[in-house]
Chain A
Amino acid sequence: KQEVTQIPAALSVPEGENLVLNCSFTDSAIYNLQWFRQDPGKGLTSLLLIQSSQREQTSGRLNASLDKSSGRSTLYIAASQPGDSATYLCAVRLNTGNQFYFGTGTSLTVIP
């Protein structure tokens, strides 16, 4: 079974800081990896989907990287804003099967 770990569980930074969120997984035979954002009491919003053949994906101030061999992905957020405050989840899909395996998330607070 794929185990997905996100460290730290919580992070607090001042506005304007660049930051990195980490995601690690135990089985490197992945098909793709997806980063989500979840606001309190809300559903999950997809941020970036990175295929196993890709090294990184970018959307605005967000950049996700993938290193399959080391079982790691990072989500880089540039020039953080208070509106970025949320829980960030990563999910990994294996080459076999139909489901994604989720980490427990990193709760981010950006202080004005």
Chain B
Amino acid sequence: DAKTTQPTSMDCAEGRAANLPCNHSTISGNEYVYWYRQIHSQGPQYIIHGLKNNETNEMASLIITEDRKSSTLILPHATLRDTAVYYCIVQMKTSYDKVIFGPGTSLSVIP
């Protein structure tokens, strides 16, 4: 079973911020939180990752709670091209055999 839980689906109005939550209550101290997204039938695209501090890049921001049991991916100004399945995973760096992708959150950006 995946070590993360995410809502099955979410809608977001175009131009608004999309806030995608993820619960990872059993995360261990050396596991990172990674976010990927997958547009239909394409390979997953890396978005962002973090250990315990909040992170920001050109695509998104990642907010990790102080106890590290949950996180939120923020797309500040969602566009139609952000419609995709978003995966939150936890992993130790380079331990890919332990990575479990759950079903993710299907985000629909509405015009």
The answer to whether A and B belong to the same complex is: no
Q: Footprint of A on B, CB under 8 Å?
A: none
